[in-house]
Amino acid sequence: MRKKHHSHKNSLYGKDLVILPIVFCVIIYIICTVVAIASVGSYMPTIKMFFSDSGKDMSENYVNIFVPVDEPSETEASGSPSSPSAPSAEKKETVSISSFTYPSYDNQFGELIIEDCQVNAKLFFGDSSMALRNGVGVYYGSSIPGYGKTILVAGHNNTYFNGLKYAKKGQIIKIRTNYGNYRYEITDTQIKDKNDRSAYDLSADHENLILYTCYPFDELGLTPNRFFVYAKPVSGPVIDKKS
């Protein structure tokens, strides 16, 4: 009887040696899984942006009010110096604010092109995640081209604004809208801290264009710095806000 009882204890002890490591491994696996999910969770929007189907149609998520306006001829745009009837540099074309559809938040109302930087993106009013998924967006607290104020445009450094790394003084930025076409000349580029509010002045009483994106380029996720491109207006209609 003693030998049989002793054998039973050994049997239980042997089972413990098998079961305990399995339980321990399961617990470790669960802990690692929870930690991994928590760590990756914050990067999921960025990961999805790069590994999602690039051909997916996102058009159902926004309203497109952009109807291209015909570009003026080279002579009309620059003003031929040999022609006595050529418009002076002081004369500005105007467009009545009541003659076009003013964009609402998340509307696509134009496109932004920098040929020297290989930038060609849809332009949205507002810089929501939807807008920056599909193109670049005008910061909601700033203005639109032709309004005579600061135009602050955001874009992702790994997608539509990746080409800003080639931006140089003197290059031309084209913005086509549903009410007119604009040209801006790059005057400067700067790298600033993401919290540096001196990088732009939304209360400025003159028109100026500022593009910005995360820096360094090609880095995933949010970064501590921003890359700014500053430009001055060259041509484009002035919005008559009183009409």
CB atoms within 10 A of CB 161: 28
Residue 112 three-state SS: strand
* Phi, psi angles (nearest 5°) of residue 218: 70, 10
Cα-based distances in Å from 120 to 152, 155, 171: 17, 11, 14
127 neighbors 189 (Cβ within 8 angstroms): no
184 neighbors 233 (Cβ within 8 angstroms): yes
108 neighbors 64 (Cβ within 8 angstroms): yes
> Consecutive sets of 10 residues in the chain, 243 residues long: mean pLDDT of each?
52 58 73 56 41 45 92 52 41 88 96 98 97 96 97 97 98 98 98 95 97 93 93 97 81
d(CA 78, CA 73): 9
Cα-based distances in Å from 206 to 37, 106, 123, 160, 184: 48, 25, 21, 27, 13
| Token reading at 206 | 């003159």
**The pLDDT of residue 183:** 98
Global confidence as pTM: 0.71
**The pLDDT of residue 92:** 75
d(CA 133, CA 126): 12
Helices (H), the chain: 2-41, 44-51, 74-78, 129-134
**The pLDDT of residue 76:** 47
**The pLDDT of residue 54:** 41
